[in-house]
C-alpha cells in the first residue's frame, strides 16, 4: 500500500480554484516529484498535504489513515514534515533554535537531538558556521538550507520539499539533490516539488506534471525525461 | 504649569512613578503576549486584571482581614501576600482562559475577520465588568491594611518605602520568570514560533490552539499578580477599575513595542514616570488624560514602539 | 456519519431558502403596494406619540421621551454604521463625538456658558457638526494608518477622555455642567414655543426627520465611489491599497462622517435635555451604540435601526411591566431565539457538535434572566432591570459574534464575505 495516497483533491482560495481533482500516490521509499509551471498549484497541494490549507473535496490518506481533516500539528506527529517554499524560517530565532524547532514534536528529541544536529551540520556546514546567527539575517540560500535541515530534524517518514533548489547557486543545487538521494537511501520517502524539472526528473522514481491545477502526465522519471512534449514544455528542449 | 513643584519633588515623583509603572508593565504583558500570537488586542484583558483585584480582596476577607483591621504581624502579611498572589493569579488566569474559549476560539474556527474578534472581546469585557458590578457592587471596595508604608532608604532625596520596593521587585521578578519561560522551555519556544511564523510553527508540529490558550493563561497569571500589587498600592478597587489600567497598560505595551516582552517593562516604567511628572506639572485631575495623550503621541511618531514590534524580530 | 451530515445540510438549505422568504415576498409585491405600505408605516411612526398604542407604550417612563431616546440611538447607530458597517473600522468612543456635539451646542449657545456667545440654535448645530467632524479627523489622523485594533482602543480612550476633560474644564462647566442649552426655533399657531421642555413630541418628529435624511444620504453614499472604496477596504485593505484605492483618505472620511452624525445626535440630545454635565456621557453608552449596530446587522441601514430599537427601547419597556406581560415577552424572546437558531444559515463545517453547543448557549441565555431576577438581594425589585442591560447586551455581542456575525438583518454583501472566509479554516478546526 502506498504511504501517501491523494484522491481527487480539490483546493480553492475563496472562489478561485487552485487545485482540481488531483490524484497521486507515493510509495514507501520512493522519491516522487511534482513539476509544473508557476502558479500550477504545486505549493497549494503541499500546503493541503501539511494541513495548512483546507481541502474543498477529495481525500488524503497517510499510511492507511484518512488525514484529510487532521490538524497540521498531528500530521507532523504522524511523520509528515515539510520544508516550505520561500522564507519558512523563524526569523527571530538562532539557526540552532530553528533546527531545534524541527524536533519539536518528537518525544525522543533529547536522545536524538545531538546526532541529528550533527547530521544536518555535516550536510550543510554553512549552517554550523552560522549556528548562533538569527535566522532572519541569513542569506536566501542559507535560509533554504535551514528549512531543509529543520525538516530533517523531525526524522520524518515522508519529507515534503517545496522547491528546495530555489535561490541556490548551481553548484549547491547539485549538492542538494545528492543530499536528497542520500536521505532517501537512508529510508525517508520524499515528495519533491520542483521548477528545476531536469534535475528533479533525474533523481525521481516517478513524476507527476501539474498544469493549472490538474495532473496532465505521469510516469517514471526517466520516461518523462524522454517524452518529447515534456521536453518541449518543461526542459526547454525542442 | 507648576514647574517648581516638579523640580522640588522630582525624585519622589519618579519613585512613585516607577512603582506604578511596574504594575502597568505586568498588565501590559498580557496584551503583548496575546498580540504576539494572534495579532489581536485582547480587549477583555482589563477585566482579567480586575478579577485579580477582587480575588485578592476575597482572599483577605477569607483569612479574616477586614478593611479597617490593623496591619497583622510580618509573618502573617507574607503568608497572606503569597496566598493572595496565588489565588489572584489563578483566578485571573482562569478567566483569561475562559475568555479565550468563549470569545476567541469559536471565531477562529470560522476564520472571522478581526473586527468580529474585537467586538466579541468587547462583549466579554462588558459581561465580566457587569458580573462584578452585580455581585460586588458598583462602589469602591477597600482592600485593607497589609503594609504600612515605611521609608527604607533615600535616593537623591526621594523616600523609598517598603511597599514600593516590594512592588517593583515582585514585578521585575515575575517578568524574569516569564522571560525565561518563553525563551527556555519547549512550550515557550512554541509561543515564539507561532508569533514569528504561524505556518512554519504548524509545520513543526506546534499545536496552535494550545499555544494561544497558553498565552492567554500567562497573560492572566501576570495580570493576577499585578492586581495584588495594585491593591497594595492603591488600597481600593472597583468593578470598572480595569478601564484606565487597561488603557495605560496598552499604552505601555505600544510604547515599548507591542509583542515585545522587554518592551512592556520599559514602556510601563516610562509611562509611570511620565504620568507622575505630568500630573505634577498640570495637576492631578489631568493624570489620566496625560496617559491618553501620551498614547496618541506615541502612535503618531513611533507606532512600532521604542524597542520595535516583535514581528519577526528578536523576542516573542 | 457522512450521510447524516449531508442530510442535515440538505435540510439546512431548505431552511435557509425558507428563511429568505420575507425578503422575496416583499420584493415580489407590486410597486404601488410597497410604496403605500411604506407611507402607512411612516405615518404610524409620526403618529406614535399621539396614538400611544397599548402594548408598545412604556408605562413607567414617558413614552414620547423614550421614543426620542430611541430616535437618538437610531441616529447614532446609523452614524456608527458608516464607520463599523461600511468601512469596517471599530470605533468604541462614539459617545465622545456625541459629547463633543452636545457640548458644542451648550458652550456656544447657552447664556450660562463662559463663552457667552449665545449663538442661536440654527447656528450652533452646524458648529457642533463641524467640531465633531474635526475631532474625528484629529483622532483618526494618527490612528487610521495603523492596525484596526489600535483604532478601537484609542477611540475607547477618547470617549472617556472627553468626559474627563469636561469634568476638569471651567469652560465646559466642569462637573456642574451647563444649563440652558438652546432649543430649536419655531412657534405654534398660538404663538407659544414649539420646542419646550414639557412636550417632547416636536423633538421626536425632528429626530425622525433627521433619521430619514441620514438614511437617504447613507443610501446614496453606499452606491457612490466612496461607498465602493469602503467595501474594498473592508474586504481586504492590502488588496485595496494595491489596486490604487487611497485607503487612508477613505477611512478618514468614513471616520469623520461617522463623527459628524454622532455630533449631530449629541447636539439634539443636549437641546432636548437643556442641561448637560459629564455624567450624561458614560463610556458604556458607546458599547450600547456598538451593540445596536452589531445586533441589527452592520452594513445594513434597516438592520442597525432595528438594533437601535432593540437596545434603546426593550430595556425601557421591560423596566415597568406587569408579570403577565413579562412572561409573554420572555417566552416570545426564547421562542424567537429558538426559531432563529433553527433557521439560521449554517457554516460549511457545522456538524452535530455545533447543535450541541447552540443548545447549551440557548439554554444558558434562556435561564439567565429568571435566575438573576430570582435573586432578591441583587435586585431589590424588577424595577432595576435597567442594571441588567449592559450585561445582556454584552452577552449579545459575544453571542452575535460567535453565531451570527452578520446581524439580524444582514447586509448581503457582508454575509457573503463572512461565509467565504469561513471556508478558509485550517483543517481540524471543528474538533
Ligand atoms: N493565498 C492565495 N489567495 C488566492 N490565490 C492564491 C493564493 N495562493 C495561491 N493562489 C493562486 O493559486 C494558484 C496556485 O498557486 P501555487 O502557489 O500553488 O502555485 P505553484 O505551483 O506553487 O507556483 P510557483 O512555482 O510559482 O511556486 C495560483 O494561481 C495562485 O495565484
Ligand atoms: Mg510554489
Q: Which ligand 1 atom is nearest residue A213's CA? A: 14
Q: Give the C-alpha distances (Å, rounded to integers) separating C281 from A209, C99, C164, C419, C424.
A: 66, 6, 10, 37, 41
Q: Which residues contact C417 (CB under 8 A, 6 or more apart)?
A: B113, C234, C235
Q: Cβ of A100 and B315 within 8 Å?
A: no
Q: Tell whether A52 is within 8 A of chain C (Cβ).
A: yes
Averaged over C33-46, what is the pLDDT? Answer: 87
Tell me the per-residue pLDDT of C346-390, one tens digit each, with 9 for 90 and over.
555 556 666 676 677 667 766 666 666 665 554 444 445 566 778
Reduced to 3 states (helix: H, G, I; strand: E, B; else coil), residue B73 is: coil
Instruction: Looking at mean pLDDT, say which of B271-285, C39-53, C185-199 comes out highest.
Output: B271-285
Question: How would residue A150 be classed by pLDDT, with cut points 50, 70 and 90?
Answer: very high
Averaged over C212-218, what is the pLDDT? Answer: 89
Q: Which pLDDT value is given to residue B192?
A: 93
DSSP secondary structure letter of residue B43: T
Tell me the per-residue pLDDT of B189-206, one tens digit each, with 9 for 90 and over.
999 999 999 999 999 999
Q: How far is the CA of A41 from the centre of ligand 2 (A)?
A: 7
Tell me the per-residue pLDDT of C186-208, one tens digit each, with 9 for 90 and over.
777 777 777 777 788 888 888 99
Question: How would residue B39 be classed by pLDDT, with cut points 50, 70 and 90?
Answer: confident
Three-point CA angle C266, C247, B105, nearest 5°: 80
Q: Which pLDDT value is given to residue B237?
A: 92
Q: Tell whether C211 is within 8 A of chain B (Cβ).
A: no
Q: Which pLDDT value is given to residue A113?
A: 87
Q: Give the residue from chain A lying closest to B204, CA to CA.
A: A102
Whether B152 is in a domain gets the answer no
Tell me the per-residue pLDDT of C124-135, one tens digit each, with 9 for 90 and over.
899 999 999 999
Strand A65-66 versus strand A57-62 pairing type: antiparallel
Q: Cβ of C420 and A70 within 8 Å?
A: no
Whether B144 is in a domain gets the answer no
Task: Count CB-CB contacts under 10 A for residue C117.
Answer: 13
Per the document, the length of chain C is 431
DSSP code per residue over B154-223: EETTEEEEHHHHHHHHHHHHHHHHHHHHHHHSHHHHHHHHHHH-HHHHHHTT--HHHHHHHHHHHHHHHH
Q: Which regions of C292-405 does DSSP assign to beta strands (E)?
A: none
Phi, psi (degrees; rounded to nearest 5) at B264 = -60, -40
B313 vs A35, higher pLDDT: A35
Q: Which pLDDT value is given to residue C260?
A: 93
Contacts of B285 in chain C (CB under 8 A): 164, 167-168
Averaged over B258-284, what is the pLDDT? Answer: 89
Task: Mention the CATH class of domain C62-313.
Answer: mainly alpha
Q: Is the pLDDT of residue C334 over 80?
A: no
Decide if C169 contacts C99 (C-beta within 8 A): no
Query: Residue C400: which of C348, C340, C352 has the closest Cα?
Result: C340
What is the rounded average pLDDT for all residues in chain C?
Answer: 79
Q: Which pLDDT value is given to residue C14?
A: 58
DSSP code per residue over C230-273: HHHHHH-HHHHHHTT--HHHHHHHHHHHHHHHHHHHHHHHHHHH
Report the nearest-CA residue for atom 5 of ligand 1. A13
Q: Domain of B223?
A: 3-137+158-313
Q: Give the C-alpha distances (Å, rounded to integers) separating C169 from C103, C131, C176, C179.
A: 12, 17, 10, 15
For residue C137 the three cell numbers come to: 479627523
Element (DSSP H or E) covering residue B3:
helix B3-8
Identify the weakest region by mean pLDDT among A127-131, B217-221, B286-290, C259-263: B286-290
Other chains touching C, judged by 3 or more CB pairs under 8 Å: A, B
Contacts of C431 in chain A (CB under 8 A): 71
DSSP secondary structure letter of residue C426: P
- Percentage of the residues of chain B whose pLDDT score is greater than 70: 97
* CA A90 remoteness from chain centre: 18
Q: Which pLDDT value is given to residue B312?
A: 38
B105 vs C338, higher pLDDT: B105
Q: Cβ of C426 and A14 within 8 Å?
A: no
Question: How would residue C2 be classed by pLDDT, with cut points 50, 70 and 90?
Answer: very low
3-state SS of chain A? CCCEEEEEEEEEECCEEEEEEEEEEECCCCEEEEEECCCCCHHHHHHHHHCCCCCCEEEEEECCEECCCCCHHHHHHHCEEEECCCCCCCCCCEHHHHHHHHCCCCCCHHHHHHHHHHHHHHHCHHHHHCCCCEHHHCCHHHHHHHHHHHHHHCCCCEEEEECCCCCCCHHHHHHHHHHHHHHHHCCCEEEEEECCHHHHHHHCCEEEEEECCEEEEEEEHHHHHHCHHHHHHHCCCC
Instruction: Looking at mean pLDDT, say which of A68-72, B142-146, B285-289 comes out highest.
Output: A68-72
Q: Which ligand 1 atom is nearest residue A40's CA? A: 21
Which of residues 245 through 274 in chain B touch C, CB cutoff 8 A? 247, 250, 254
Contacts of B312 in chain A (CB under 8 A): 91-92, 136
Residues with CB under 6 A from ligand 1: A 13, 16, 18, 36, 38-44, 85, 195
Report the nearest-CA residue for atom 18 of ligand 1. A41
Q: Is the pLDDT of residue B314 over 80?
A: no
Q: Which pLDDT value is given to residue B252?
A: 92
Report the nearest-CA residue for atom 7 of ligand 1. A13
Q: Identify the contact set of chain B against chain A, taking CB-CB distances under 8 A.
A: 186, 189-190, 192-193, 196-197, 199-208, 310, 312-315
Q: Tell me the ipTM for this assembly.
A: 0.90
Instruction: Parse chain C into domains and list their residue ranges.
Output: 23-52, 62-313, 321-423
Instruction: Report the distance separating Cα B254 and Cα B299, nearest Å.
Output: 8
Q: Which pLDDT value is given to residue B202?
A: 94
Question: How would residue B125 be classed by pLDDT, with cut points 50, 70 and 90?
Answer: very high
Tell me the per-residue pLDDT of B151-165, one tens digit each, with 9 for 90 and over.
777 777 777 888 888
Q: Is the pLDDT of residue A7 over 90?
A: yes
Q: Is the pLDDT of residue C120 over 60?
A: yes
Q: Give the residue from chain B lying closest to A160, CA to CA.
A: B203
What is the rounded average pLDDT for all residues in chain B?
Answer: 88
Q: Cβ of A68 and C425 within 8 Å?
A: no
Whether B164 is in a domain gets the answer yes
Q: Give the C-alpha distances (Å, rounded to integers) separating B129 from B91, B135, C337, C350.
A: 15, 10, 25, 32
Averaged over C306-332, what is the pLDDT? Answer: 72
Q: Give the residue from chain C lying closest to B249, CA to CA.
A: C153
As for how many domains chain B has, the answer is 1
Q: Tell whether B202 is within 8 A of chain C (Cβ).
A: yes
Ligand nearest to the CA of A34: 1
Q: Give the residue from chain C lying closest to B107, CA to CA.
A: C402
Q: Is the pLDDT of residue C15 over 80?
A: no
Report the nearest-CA residue for atom 16 of ligand 1. A41
Instruction: Report the distance separating Cα C408 and Cα C302, nearest Å.
Output: 10
Identify the weakest region by mean pLDDT among A49-53, A66-70, C3-7: C3-7
Amino acid at each position: 500500500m502506498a504511504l501517501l495516497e491523494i484522491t481527487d483533491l480539490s483546493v480553492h482560495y475563496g472562489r478561485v480554484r487552485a487545485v482540481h481533482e488531483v490524484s497521486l500516490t507515493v510509495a514507501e521509499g520512493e522519491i516522487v516529484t511534482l513539476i509544473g509551471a508557476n502558479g500550477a498549484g504545486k505549493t497549494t497541494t503541499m500546503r493541503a498535504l501539511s494541513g495548512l490549507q483546507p481541502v474543498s473535496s477529495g481525500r488524503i490518506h497517510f499510511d492507511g489513515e484518512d488525514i484529510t481533516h487532521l490538524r497540521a500539528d498531528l500530521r507532523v506527529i504522524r511523520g509528515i514534515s515539510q520544508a516550505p517554499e520561500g522564507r519558512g524560517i523563524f526569523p527571530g530565532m538562532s539557526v540552532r533554535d530553528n533546527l531545534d524547532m524541527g524536533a519539536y514534536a518528537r518525544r525522543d528529541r533529547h536522545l536524538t537531538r545531538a546526532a541529528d544536529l550533527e547530521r544536518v551540520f555535516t550536510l550543510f556546514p554553512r549552517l554550523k558556521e552560522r549556528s548562533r546567527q538569527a535566522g532572519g539575517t541569513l542569506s536566501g540560500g542559507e535560509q533554504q538550507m535551514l528549512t531543509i535541515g529543520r525538516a530533517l530534524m523531525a526524522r520524518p517518514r515522508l519529507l515534503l520539499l517545496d522547491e528546495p533548489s530555489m535561490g541556490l547557486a548551481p553548484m549547491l543545487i547539485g549538492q542538494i539533490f545528492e543530499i536528497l538521494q542520500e536521505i532517501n537511501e537512508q529510508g525517508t520517502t520524499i515528495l519533491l516539488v520542483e521548477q528545476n524539472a531536469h534535475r528533479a526528473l533525474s533523481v525521481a522514481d516517478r513524476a507527476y506534471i501539474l498544469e493549472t491545477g490538474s495532473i496532465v502526465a505521469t510516469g517514471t522519471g526517466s520516461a518523462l525525461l524522454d517524452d518529447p512534449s515534456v521536453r518541449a514544455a518543461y526542459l526547454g528542449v525542442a | 504649569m507648576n514647574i517648581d513643584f516638579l523640580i522640588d519633588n522630582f525624585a519622589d515623583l519618579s519613585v512613585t512613578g516607577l512603582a506604578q509603572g511596574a504594575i502597568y508593565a505586568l498588565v501590559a504583558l498580557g496584551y503583548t503576549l496575546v498580540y504576539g500570537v494572534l495579532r489581536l488586542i485582547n480587549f477583555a484583558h482589563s477585566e482579567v486584571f480586575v478579577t485579580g483585584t477582587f480575588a485578592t480582596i476575597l482572599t483577605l476577607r477569607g483569612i479574616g482581614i477586614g478593611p479597617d483591621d490593623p496591619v497583622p504581624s510580618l509573618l502573617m502579611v507574607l503568608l497572606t501576600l503569597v496566598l493572595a498572589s496565588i489565588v489572584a493569579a489563578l483566578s485571573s488566569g482562569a478567566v483569561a482562559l475562559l475568555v479565550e474559549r468563549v470569545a476567541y476560539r469559536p471565531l477562529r474556527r470560522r476564520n472571522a475577520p478581526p473586527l468580529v474578534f474585537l467586538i466579541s472581546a468587547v462583549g466579554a469585557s462588558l459581561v465580566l465588568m457587569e458580573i462584578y458590578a452585580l455581585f460586588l457592587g458598583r462602589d469602591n471596595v477597600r482592600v485593607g491594611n497589609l503594609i504600612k508604608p515605611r521609608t527604607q532608604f533615600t535616593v537623591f532625596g526621594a523616600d523609598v518605602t517598603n511597599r514600593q520596593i516590594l512592588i517593583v521587585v515582585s514585578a521585575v521578578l515575575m517578568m524574569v520568570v516569564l522571560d525565561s519561560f518563553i525563551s527556555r522551555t519547549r512550550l515557550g519556544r512554541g509561543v515564539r514560533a507561532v508569533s514569528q511564523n504561524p505556518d512554519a510553527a504548524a509545520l513543526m508540529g506546534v499545536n496552535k490552539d494550545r499555544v494561544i490558550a497558553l498565552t492567554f493563561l500567562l497573560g492572566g497569571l501576570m495580570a493576577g499578580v499585578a492586581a495584588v500589587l495594585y491593591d497594595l498600592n492603591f488600597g481600593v478597587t472597583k468593578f470598572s477599575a480595569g478601564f484606565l489600567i487597561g488603557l495605560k497598560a496598552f499604552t505601555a505595551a505600544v510604547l515599548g513595542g507591542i509583542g515585545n516582552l522587554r518592551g512592556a517593562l520599559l514602556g510601563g516604567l516610562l509611562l509611570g514616570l511620565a504620568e507622575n511628572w505630568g500630573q505634577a506639572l498640570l495637576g492631578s485631575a489631568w493624570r489620566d488624560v496625560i496617559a491618553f495623550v501620551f498614547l496618541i503621541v506615541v502612535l503618531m511618531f513611533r507606532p512600532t514602539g521604542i524597542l520595535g514590534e516583535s514581528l519577526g524580530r528578536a523576542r516573542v | 456519519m457522512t450521510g447524516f451530515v449531508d442530510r442535515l445540510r440538505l435540510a439546512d438549505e431548505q431552511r435557509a431558502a425558507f428563511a429568505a422568504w420575507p425578503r422575496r415576498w416583499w420584493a415580489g409585491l407590486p410597486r404601488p403596494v410597497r410604496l403605500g405600505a411604506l407611507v402607512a408605516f411612516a405615518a404610524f411612526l409620526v403618529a406614535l406619540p399621539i396614538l400611544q398604542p397599548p402594548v408598545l407604550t412604556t408605562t413607567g417612563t414617558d413614552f414620547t421621551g423614550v421614543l426620542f431616546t430611541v430616535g437618538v440611538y437610531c441616529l447614532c447607530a446609523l452614524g456608527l454604521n458608516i464607520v463599523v458597517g461600511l468601512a469596517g473600522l471599530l470605533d468604541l468612543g462614539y459617545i465622545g463625538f456625541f459629547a463633543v456635539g452636545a457640548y458644542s451646542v451648550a458652550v456656544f449657545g447657552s447664556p450660562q456658558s463662559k463663552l457667552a456667545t449665545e449663538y442661536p440654535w440654527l447656528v450652533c448645530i452646524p458648529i457642533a457638526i463641524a467640531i465633531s467632524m474635526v475631532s474625528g479627523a484629529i483622532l483618526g489622523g494618527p490612528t487610521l494608518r495603523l492596525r484596526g485594533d489600535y483604532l478601537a482602543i484609542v477611540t475607547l480612550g477618547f470617549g472617556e477622555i472627553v468626559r474627563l476633560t469636561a469634568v476638569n474644564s471651567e469652560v465646559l462647566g466642569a462637573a456642574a455642567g451647563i444649563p440652558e442649552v438652546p432649543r430649536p426655533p419655531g412657534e405654534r399657531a398660538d404663538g407659544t414655543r414649539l420646542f419646550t421642555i414639557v412636550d417632547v413630541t416636536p423633538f421626536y418628529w425632528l429626530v425622525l426627520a433627521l433619521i430619514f435624511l441620514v438614511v437617504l444620504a447613507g443610501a446614496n453614499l453606499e452606491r457612490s465611489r466612496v461607498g465602493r472604496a469602503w467595501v474594498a477596504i473592508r474586504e481586504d485593505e492590502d488588496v485595496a491599497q494595491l489596486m490604487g484605492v487611497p485607503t487612508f483618505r477613505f477611512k478618514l472620511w468614513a471616520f469623520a462622517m461617522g463623527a459628524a452624525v454622532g455630533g449631530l445626535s449629541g447636539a439634539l440630545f443636549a437641546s432636548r435635555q437643556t442641561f448637560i454635565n459629564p455624567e450624561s456621557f458614560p463610556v458604556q453608552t458607546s458599547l450600547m451604540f456598538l451593540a445596536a449596530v452589531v445586533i441589527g446587522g452592520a452594513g445594513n441601514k434597516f438592520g442597525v435601526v432595528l438594533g437601535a430599537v432593540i437596545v434603546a427601547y426593550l430595556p425601557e419597556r421591560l423596566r415597568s411591566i406587569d408579570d403577565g406581560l413579562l412572561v409573554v415577552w420572555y417566552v416570545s424572546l426564547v421562542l424567537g431565539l429558538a426559531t432563529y437558531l433553527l433557521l439560521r444559515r449554517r457554516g460549511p463545517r457545522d456538524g452535530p457538535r455545533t447543535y450541541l453547543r447552540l443548545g447549551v448557549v440557548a439554554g444558558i441565555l434562556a435561564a439567565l434572566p429568571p435566575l438573576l431576577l430570582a435573586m432578591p438581594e441583587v435586585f431589590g425589585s424588577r424595577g432595576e432591570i435597567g442594571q441588567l442591560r449592559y450585561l445582556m447586551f454584552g452577552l449579545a455581542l459575544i453571542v452575535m459574534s460567535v453565531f451570527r456575525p452578520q446581524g439580524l438583518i444582514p447586509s448581503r454583501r457582508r454575509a457573503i464575505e463572512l461565509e467565504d472566509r469561513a471556508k478558509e479554516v485550517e483543517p481540524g478546526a471543528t474538533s
